[in-house]
A and B are shown apart, each in its own frame.
Chain A
Amino acid sequence: MSDDEPEEGPGRPGSPRATPSVERPSTDEELASEWADPPGLWGRLRAVQNDAIGQRLLLTGFFFLILGGSLDSVAMRLQLARPESDLLSPQLFNELFTNHGSVTMFLVILPIFEGFAILLLPFLLGTREMPFPRLGAFAYYTFLFGGLLYYSSTLFQLVPDAGWFAYAPLSSNEFSPGLALDFWVLGLGVAEVGAIAAAGEIIIGILKMRAPGMTLSRLPLFAWAMLVTAFMILFAFTPLIVGSLLLELDRGFHTQFFNVEQGGSVLLWQHLFWIFGHPEVYIQFLPAAGIVSMVLPVFVRRKIAGYTWLVGAFVAIGFLSFGLWAHHMFAVGLPPLVLSFFAAASLVIGIPAGVQIFAWLATLWSGKPVWNTAFLFVLGFLVIFVIGGITGIMVAAVPFDLQAHDTYFIVAHLHYVLIGGVGFPIFAGIYYWWPKYTGRLLDERLGKLSFWLLFIGVNVTFFPMHIVGLLGMPRRVYTYPSGLGWEIWNMISTAGVFLIVPGILLFIVNIIYSKRRGAPAGANPWGGDTLEWAVASPPLDHGWSVLPIVHSRHPLWDQPAVSEGDAKLERFVEALAQWPLRWRAALIVRTTDALPEEVFRVAGPSVWPFVTAIGLVTIFAAELLKLRLGALAGALVVVAGAIGWNWPERPPIDEEEELAFEREHGVPVRAGGSDVVAQWGMGLSILFVAIAFASFLLTYFYLRLENDVWPPAGIALPDARLFAVSAALAIAGVVAAYVAVRRIRLGDHRGLRLSLGGMLAFGSAAMALQIISYSRLGFGGTDHAYGSIFFTLGGFCFGVLGVALIMGAMTLVWGFRHALTPRRHVTASNTARFWAAAVTVWVIGFSTLYLGPYLT
């Protein structure tokens, strides 16, 4: 079959048109060397380029997949092959399944998709970089260090063993003494911070950094999927971080959040965990759906059917997934009305899922398939994911879930969804995009063999688990008795693993072999329709010398040339290919119509993200070892790192040169760093603070409802008088912050410094009063859940205002150095924004604590 061979060259299937060139030989080299990461080991630590960061995330994700995803599962399946087997001790088995779940959920799928996104998006979107390259580097290091901190538990023989969900009170000090669970909370906590950092980078990248003309309705579907996913990460991981913090406070500082004896609640943990845990499933699935939506149309040579339907489905899934968390808690004894609500919500998500499936089928209907490996993985995905979806609908039916919950039926369901629905698209994506980054094709024969081994192996392994679950076999048991009809199904499951393992090994062999010996790919080996296929394989460091101008969802199929458009835009992209060559310039577009909004200097290589990540992991590692001074040192490193990272560099050109370009092309230039990106970054940071704050408030009111007596007997109602003064002072601080912005707009440097000083004084005074008020409380944070939340929510308010103070102090320093001008004052306006947010948290947070007890 000639269909087996990918077509060379032409952009559009069967058309004679060559892939349009985006290179400019005159400047390519200079641009590429300006954008390249510095050489050597030191250079690697400072690397921020999206290619490097994306590839590191992918590789590290795969490393953890082999370690925690594969080795663990082989061992567990061997143990369960026969009843009453004593191959593994109960302790080891419990450690293995805890590790398997934790690693795959936190350290594998997420970094792989964030890696895909950071690597691909600039090419898909026709831009040169992600908006915050240093944040991308920081996200990578935190993920890596978090993963290593978590895994270091193995070296100390203190491996977490309370399941990937770490339910309280099993995860408490009382039932899990020792440090094992601290490794779980703290190691994964670091990695979670990285996930959130990368999510912010991805959101702003997609919304603001695109080629001219790439409107939201022309956005490639993978970008849409990642946009929704990144927002979900922000909304889901933040409550998890708060929950983990509370758990660690209980474990390390003896607070009482989850101690039933002292007013805590074990279900509070489950709510916080599953508010994260359920969206997490779709956080993993949506990027996979995005990849399928990119790969499938190219291999059936048809534009995707129902683009708008698919976007709608992604967004709908994003919203709905936050309304389903309690379907993991059907068996905890919720009221019937709540059960019905969550059952209905869980079923409704079947509709967007169905829309997706049939949009893909409709695409397939109208085209003619090219049977290569990437396409096979897409087909395998469709079949396995549909089965997983059907069993998913079944477990949404509450009464049936009460039978299936915590049995092997669920294990079967989730592996169908995660391996079929997520793993297979990852493979499809790798086979599809590999040539772009290596310039070589993966071997098709090895690829197909590997596909069939995996497809058959996954079904042989996981299908029998449905049956054995219905026969009553619970999850997370290290062994089971014979005579219950479970033996044969377990034996088959284990046998299936021996198909999956060679399938994965063949894939690794293929990667190693094709990296050196694979057939040369050319720029567009599949006849793809999206922008990444217009750049060379492998691409130059900056990707695009001439930015593309987009008129279609499928620019390479519909456009005669990539960089053609109206004369003004053409002149503009051509100008950016020639200037600047001495600093990294990238384009910001308006969110909706994608017209140029700003040319700005992207941050360059820096060691500070690495230092900051080291500081962060030091805090967590020191907390693990109960070295409070070490944690303080780590915190200082983080602060120093963040200051160094954001230290304003002298702009490479003066304002006059900026204005000259602006006059000619009508697009402002910001060689000192982008205003737009900085504002968006601040917006997302405030969103992050708001979500964390909401999680603390939820904790407060949940505990309030769980306790009939609030505050507990023996504790007086709080005295709100000092707080009233501190709130007024804090609000005065915000007013001063906005006066400062106004002064610098008018060029009044002295006024700027005075009002910033006033702002800092008001804020410090507010803090001081609040500290006095706390010192008079007469109770601590460790006696009762009331005190625990009083000090923790209060501590959060202090922390946020503390960050605002540091930010304000930095701005004041820059004010003294005359680094702020009427034209470049985004630091001051961002400081004012953050102050407004911090003081809002301050006022609402302490109002809740001081006035909440008066509500009955």
Chain B
Amino acid sequence: MLIGRRRRRVLSPLPSRIGNVARVRFAASGALDPRGPAARAIADLWWLMLGLGAATFVVFALVLVRGLLRGSASADDPGDERPGWLVLLGGVALPTVVLTIVLAFTVRTMHTIPNAAPEGTLQIEVIGHQWWWEIRYPQHGIVTANEVHLPVGRPVEFLLTSADVIHSFWIPQLGGKLDLLPEDVNTLVLQSDTPGVYRSQCAEFCGLQHAKMGLLAIAEPEERFSEWLQREQAPARATASSSAAAGGQQLFADVGCTSCHTVRGTAADGTGGPDLTHFASRQTLAAGSLPNTPEHLEGWVTDPHAIKEGVGMPATELDEGQRRVLIQYLEGLR
């Protein structure tokens, strides 16, 4: 009963909370709000095709309406095969012209969008898991999860692969999507021209919680980005008083968190779940499902399946005091 009630308390405010978070943080949404060169080229292609498509539809509609209203002088005579010119003009000439234009711009757009980056470009490895994202910066020795930071104004090379099933990586404001395959590494080059927080989510059905496999892409000016890199490179540093931190760290190991999670700089070195070294600096919980606040974290740690049914993380039974210590510890991982 107690658990049931608590669960309800934790759960009920969620929809509005997420809504608020979304409204406050995300300025943009979708492919038609391009923030980088690739997305812009695609949006241009879209507007061109929309114009051509609308024009084609208008031609079709005019011919249709005229045909319907026209009536025929000699309604009794089924006649022979006629209006061949209409078939030739509308059926062959019109599509040929439209399609040639579309093809030309398609090929041009494909050439505009780079699919490889020069040596020395910032590389970010994205590894798909059911249902979260492992993010690595191999040139900087950083491992994090569900949040990708990138500098503004220069291309970034994403190396995409999967640890289990097929997922798909997609930041609509920055460009097209590309699959994460277990058998290969796909390369996607993206660039953000303005700072911003872009919401992204898995775009290939990947099982039960496909809908809750979200990712934040955070584009920052160079300075802030290199600060972030430095922070992330450092091992975990708990800000709470050291004795409390030590207790939390112990509890983290005792209740089994360390078998899946890594906290660099401590003994925790599990690899089944997200790296939590700088967990508290991340904006969301449960792969973009919840804002990262102590209340949500408490709900997530004690009963993750109430929030994201079927997720790999088990529920943890904790008493009131343990819960406080553990949350405090996690919130201290900045």
Q: Which of A's residues lie within 8 Å of B, judged by CB?
A: 12-15, 83-84, 89-91, 94, 161-163, 167, 169-170, 175, 260, 265-267, 297, 301-307, 309, 331-333, 336, 339-340, 343-344, 347-348, 350-351, 353-359, 361-362, 364-369, 379, 382-383, 386-387, 390-391, 393-394, 396-407, 470-472, 474-485, 529, 554, 557, 706
Contact = CB atoms under 8 A, between A and B. Distances in A.
Given A390-B53, A470-B31, A343 B103 contact: yes
Given A266-B182, A393-B49, A403-B31, A303 B84 contact: no
A542 B22 CA distance: 68
A386 B60 contact: yes
Given A83-B15, A394-B49, A406-B205, 13 more contacts: A167-B204, A267-B181, A297-B78, A333-B178, A393-B49, A397-B102, A397-B106, A400-B49, A405-B176, A406-B204, A472-B172, A477-B201, A482-B19
B100 to A, nearest CB: 9
20 contacts: A13-B75, A169-B166, A170-B207, A175-B207, A297-B78, A301-B75, A332-B179, A333-B184, A343-B106, A343-B107, A347-B99, A351-B96, A358-B63, A364-B68, A397-B45, A472-B29, A477-B201, A482-B22, A483-B22, A484-B199
B86 interface: yes
A364 B64 contact: yes
Contacts of A478: 211
A475 B203 CA distance: 7
B22 A484 contact: yes
Contacts of A170: 165-166, 205-207
A333 to B, nearest CB: 4
B21 interface: yes
Contacts of B80: 303
A366 B18 contact: no
Given A302-B78, A332-B181, A344-B103, A484 B209 contact: no
Contacts of B83: 305, 362, 365-366
A359 B46 CA distance: 29
Nearest to A391: B53
B315 interface: no
Q: Which of B39, B105, B177: most chain A Cβ within 10 A?
A: B177
Interface string B19-36: 111110010011110000
B316 interface: no
A361 B90 contact: yes
Contacts of A359: 87, 91
A474 B87 CA distance: 38
A383 B70 CA distance: 18
A303 B77 CA distance: 9
Contact of B201 (A386, A470, A474): A474
A361 B64 contact: yes
B71 to A, nearest CB: 5
Interface of B: 14-15, 18-23, 26, 29-32, 38-39, 41-42, 45-46, 49-50, 53, 56-57, 60-61, 63-64, 66-68, 70-72, 75-76, 78-84, 86-87, 89-92, 94-96, 98-99, 102-103, 105-107, 109-110, 113, 115, 130, 164-166, 168, 170, 172, 175-179, 181-184, 186-187, 199, 201-212, 309-310
A358 B205 contact: no
B72 A402 contact: no
A305 B110 contact: no
Across the A-B interface, the 10 shortest Cβ-Cβ residue pairs: A402-B176, A483-B22, A358-B91, A362-B83, A477-B211, A358-B90, A355-B91, A354-B95, A333-B186, A482-B19
Contact of B57 (A343, A386, A485): A386
A470 B29 CA distance: 9
A694 B41 CA distance: 41
A529 B78 contact: yes
Contact of B309 (A91, A403, A406, A482): A91
Contacts of A397: 45, 49, 102, 105-106, 109
A90 B57 contact: no
Given A90-B208, A331-B176, A361 B67 contact: yes
A162 B202 CA distance: 15
Contact of B202 (A305, A386, A474, A479): A474
A488 to B, nearest CB: 13
Contacts of B22: 481-484
B84 A306 contact: yes
Contact of B78 (A400, A402, A470, A557): A557
A12 B208 contact: no
Given A260-B183, A365-B66, A301 B78 contact: yes
Contacts of A382: 60, 64
Contacts of A356: 91
A481 B75 contact: no
Given A351-B95, A402-B175, A361 B46 contact: no
B64 A394 contact: no
Contacts of B115: 336
A393 B90 contact: no
A415 to B, nearest CB: 17
Contacts of B96: 351
A7 to B, nearest CB: 11
A373 to B, nearest CB: 16
A471 B199 CA distance: 11
Given A260-B183, A302-B78, A343-B106, A362 B164 contact: no
A13 B76 contact: yes
A39 B81 CA distance: 47
Q: Which of A356, A365, A400: most chain B Cβ within 10 A?
A: A400
Contact of B165 (A161, A169, A333): A169
A89 B78 contact: no
Contacts of A367: 72, 75, 79
A554 B179 CA distance: 53
Contacts of A297: 78
Given A83-B15, A354-B91, A362-B83, A483 B21 contact: yes
Contacts of A366: 72, 79, 82-83
B106 A355 contact: no
A706 B183 contact: yes
Contacts of A399: 38, 41-42, 45, 106, 109-110, 113, 176
A297 B212 CA distance: 51
A537 to B, nearest CB: 22
Given A340-B110, A355-B87, A397-B106, A470 B32 contact: yes
A305 B19 contact: no
A12 B77 CA distance: 9
Contacts of A267: 181, 183
B179 A394 contact: no
Contacts of B45: 397, 399-400
Contacts of B310: 90-91
A476 B205 contact: yes
Given A167-B205, A305-B83, A398-B110, A483 B19 contact: yes
Contacts of B53: 390-391, 393-394
A554 B78 contact: yes
Contacts of A167: 165-166, 204-205
A369 B68 contact: yes
A53 B314 CA distance: 54
A94 B113 CA distance: 35
A390 B95 contact: no
B164 to A, nearest CB: 7
Contact of B46 (A394, A398, A407, A474): A394
